[in-house]
Amino acid sequence: MPSLRLENLVKRYERTGYDALKSISFTITEGQIVALIGPSGAGKSTLIRCVNRLVEPTSGKVMWGDTDIVSLNTEQLRRARRKIGMIFQEFALVDRLSVMENVLSGRLGYVNFWQSLTRNFPQKDVDEAFRLLDRVGLTEFVDKRADKLSGGQRQRVGIARALMQDPDLLLVDEPTASLDPKTSRQIMRLISELCRERKLTAVINIHDVPLAKMFAERVIGLKAGAVVFDGPSEHLAGEVLTRIYGEEDWEEAGQRALMKFVQLGDAAPTVDPTRLAGLR
């Protein structure tokens, strides 16, 4: 599986002269799970969307293996996007359609229009859909309308949809921003487990620092459109966080986060909590 390499990626909004991304460069090797953190407006969302060109970069390259995604034409881009799965903050499901239809929509890039119009997807796709729904724990909801599900359930449909594409790269944009703390952890755990099972490369845009530390091995910190930190998540400590987010008592924040986990009485985090508490 190829690696993802960004070379001098720039995004500038011409009308306001605003530089959302100021020449970003980094490389992610295959199978790595990277968390992207930073304050609001740092450009995390823009960066993620530049990778699959939902937002058009102003200049720079996005190398996926040997291909520069930025230089692809419409048809090639469509085919490239098939291999890039994306999970959204507000789930982005089609509310009036059933869970099954939403999951199957992950295969739209692989079937022609008539098949999708008549919902006549190949049996192997249906099999995979059932498998994924079982894996994310939504088997009883197959024919339920998407807007009748809870937030956590909807995000799991979104995850199943992204994985239906059988992607090599997973882009995750704030998957837990709309969810309560306990569900957030369940979702993050699900995502990281699935990535490890399928050996997926993943870039996860997340604002919750403790979650980022728990589930990602590498963290990239973004501030005002530039990379200010890039290293293993263990190194994410007080002064680094201050550099990214500004003044804050990070030790206290860490303690608070730890207390939240303990209170929720959920299964112990798979990561040594002292790593969390010792934010020095």
Residues in contact with another protein by CB under 8 A are 52, 54, 78-82, 84-86, 88, 90-98, 100-101, 105-106, 108-109, 113, 116-119, 123, 126-127, 129-130, 142-143, 158, 161-162, 165, 171
Q: Enumerate the H helices of 99-171 as residue ranges.
A: 99-104, 113-117, 123-136, 151-164
Burial bucket for residue 147 (CB in 10 Å: 0-12, 13-18, 19+): exposed
What is the C-alpha to C-alpha distance for residues 223 and 276, in angstroms, rounded to an integer? 22
CB of 104 to another protein, least distance (A): 8
Beta-bridge partner residues of 87:
172
Tokens of 164: 């239906």
Contact 51, 84 (CB under 8 A): yes
Q: How far apart are CA 63 and CA 163, in angstroms?
A: 22
* Cβ neighbours, 10 Å, residue 217: 14
CB nearer to another protein: pick between 91 and 245: 91
Q: How far is the CB of 131 from another protein (least distance, A)?
A: 10
Of the pair 157, 216, the CB lying nearest another protein is at: 157
Q: How far is the CB of 79 from another protein (least distance, A)?
A: 7
Smaller CB separation from another protein, 130 or 229: 130
CB of 77: closest distance to another protein in angstroms? 8
User: 32 or 178: whose CB is closer to another protein?
Assistant: 178
d(CA 143, CA 103) in angstroms, rounded, equals: 11
CB of 93 or CB of 227, closer to another protein: 93
Q: How far is the CB of 230 from another protein (least distance, A)?
A: 25
